């Protein structure tokens, strides 16, 4: 592709999958064009918006941003504006009704085609839209993003077959598609050879991963974890996001057998009320969720759990909310993503009668988040004077022999060292918490 040496800018909203997609978009454009990326949108000839539609008013947020970019396009008609991600899949060509100046609309499964769309737009000056779901093509064509750290994320599956009543993901990301087993392994081997020590596996329901290889060989998520753990250069493994209904005993067994798998898990429960879980079409009970956690704690006594909560779901009573607060205390969650319920267009829950007023929803959310903050404080205090395994990510600027690293439970730690520790996992004794960081002393083993 023969494109002049100009600049592109990407603005990202949403989850870690969206962040990963934006890195992939960047790598793909850089490989197939001569465009270079800029962090200053004023300099860019290509403006790319990678969107999320999980929360309410995602469309309005989109149009507000496009309104700001419209002013730039009025000054320079050659600017190309591209909208991608979940809102693009959800709204499609309807975006043009309010933003006729948009040039390209691409989907979550067609982001790898963006360089071709840009070339076609420049050549033919016509609006382009591609929000199709071409199955595994994306995984075969994407250019793996480059990472400037010692930790990297990799998408292993995408989409969702669960159709929870509140969730728009199955409609915007499509049905579950798992990336071929050895494609993932080869990608991780490449990353490992380039210094990556920690891998985070990404997917909407990452533990539902299933791949069929040669001779109809079936590969499960637990097999994938085990295979990754056998790569010597990879020293730490994470994954997000899991669904309790797919958190099977073979995965729990990996926690018993694989020290490289961190003792921290994000496992969304959404509500502590079985009645609300049924309305949400979450096919597990609170008791089943607790059984999973208890099994994990049997093989990993020190494992810490974070979760997702939706407050004020249609029909949620004070008693239902009390059940949620009860499970929060029982599990002693460390961190959470918690939100007031927002109806998403086209989902079954959007048709339910919402009998909880907004004032009550806000009070419940405030109560829940206050409790989570208290539990975060508990876990923060618990690691003081403990010894933690730290992945050393960078040396701090304008300091002498001072480094920053991350614990298995996602705490940032600052410490001094006279040694070459960058990219290594070392033991640090935590001394105290200071602002958003912990301070520690390296332990020489």
- The token duo for 160 is 């969702």
SS3 for the chain is: CCCCCCEEEEEECCCHHHHHHHHHHHHHHHHHCCCEECCCHHHCCEEEEEECCCCCCHHHHHHHHHHHHHHHHHHCCCCEEEEEEHHHHHHHHHHHHHCCCCCEEECCCCHHHHHHHHHHHHHHCCCEEECCCCCCHHHHHCCCCCCCCCEEEEECEECCCCCCCCCCHHHHCCCCEECCHHHHHHHHHHHHHCCCCEEEEECCCHHHCEEECHHHCEEEHHHHHHHHHCCCCCCEEEEECCCHHHCCHHHHHHHHHCCCECCEEECCCECCCHHHHHHCCCCCCHHHHHHHHHHHHHHCCCCEEEEEEEECCCCCCHHHHHHHHHHHHHHCCCCEEEEECCCCCCCHHHHCCCCCCHHHHHHHHHHHHHHHHHHHHHHHHHHCCCEEEEEEEEECCCCCCEEEEECCCCCEEEEECCCCCCCCEEEEEEEEEECCEEEEEECCC
Q: How far is it, in rounded angstroms, from Cα 414 to Cα 179?
A: 37
CA distance 85 to 62: 11
Torsion of CA 371, 376, 377, 383, to 10 degrees: 150
The answer to the question of whether 164 is labelled as a binding residue is: yes
Q: How many CB atoms lie within 10 A of CB 3?
A: 16
- 167 in a known ligand binding site: yes
Residue 52 assigned as binding residue: yes
Determine if residue 86 is labeled as part of a ligand binding site.
Answer: yes
Closest CA to 23 of 109, 145, 141, 188: 145
Give the annotated binding-site residues for [4Fe-4S] cluster: 15, 52, 86, 160, 164, 167
Give the annotated binding-site residues: 15, 52, 86, 160, 164, 167
């Amino acid at each position: 592709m023969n494109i002049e040496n100009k600049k592109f800018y990407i603005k990202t909203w949403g989850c870690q999958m969206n962040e990963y997609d934006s890195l992939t978009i960047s790598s793909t454009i850089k490989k197939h064009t001569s465009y270079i990326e800029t962090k200053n949108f004023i300099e860019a000839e290509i403006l790319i918006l990678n969107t999320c539609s999980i929360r309410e008013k995602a469309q309005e947020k989109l149009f507000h941003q496009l309104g700001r970019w419209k002013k730039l396009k009025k000054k320079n008609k050659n600017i190309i504006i591209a909208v991608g991600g979940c809102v693009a899949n959800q709204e499609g060509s309807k975006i043009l009704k309010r933003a006729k100046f948009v040039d390209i609309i691409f989907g979550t499964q067609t982001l790898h085609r963006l360089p071709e769309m840009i070339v076609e737009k420049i050549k033919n000056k016509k609006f382009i839209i591609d929000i199709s779901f071409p199955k595994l093509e994306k995984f075969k064509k994407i250019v793996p993003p480059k990472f400037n750290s010692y930790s990297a994320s990799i998408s292993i599956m995408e989409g969702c077959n669960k159709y929870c009543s509140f969730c728009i993901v199955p409609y915007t990301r499509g049905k579950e598609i798992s990336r071929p087993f050895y494609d993932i392994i080869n990608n991780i081997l490449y990353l490992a050879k380039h210094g990556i020590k920690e891998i985070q596996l990404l997917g909407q329901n990452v533990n539902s991963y299933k791949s069929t290889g040669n001779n109809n060989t079936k590969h499960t998520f637990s097999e994938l974890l085990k295979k990754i753990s056998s790569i010597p250069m990879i020293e730490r493994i994470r994954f997000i996001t899991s669904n309790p209904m797919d958190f099977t005993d073979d995965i729990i067994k990996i926690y018993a057998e694989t020290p490289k798998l961190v003792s921290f898990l994000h496992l969304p429960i959404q509500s502590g009320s079985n009645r609300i879980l049924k309305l949400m079409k979450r096919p597990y009970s609170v008791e089943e969720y607790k059984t999973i956690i208890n099994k994990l704690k049997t093989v990993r006594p020190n494992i810490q759990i974070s979760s997702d909560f939706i407050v004020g779901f249609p029909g949620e009573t004070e008693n239902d909310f009390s059940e949620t607060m009860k499970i929060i205390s029982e599990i002693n969650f460390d961190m959470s993503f918690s939100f007031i319920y927002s109806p998403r267009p086209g989902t079954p829950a959007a048709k339910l009668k919402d009998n909880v007023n907004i004032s009550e929803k806000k009070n419940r959310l405030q109560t829940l988040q206050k409790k989570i903050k208290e539990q975060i404080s508990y876990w923060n205090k618990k690691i003081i004077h403990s010894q933690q395994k730290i992945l050393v990510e960078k040396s701090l600027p304008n300091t002498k022999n001072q480094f920053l690293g991350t614990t298995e439970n996602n705490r940032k730690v600052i410490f001094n060292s006279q040694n070459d520790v960058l990219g290594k996992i070392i033991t640090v004794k935590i001394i105290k918490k200071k602002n958003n960081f912990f301070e520690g002393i390296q332990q020489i083993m």
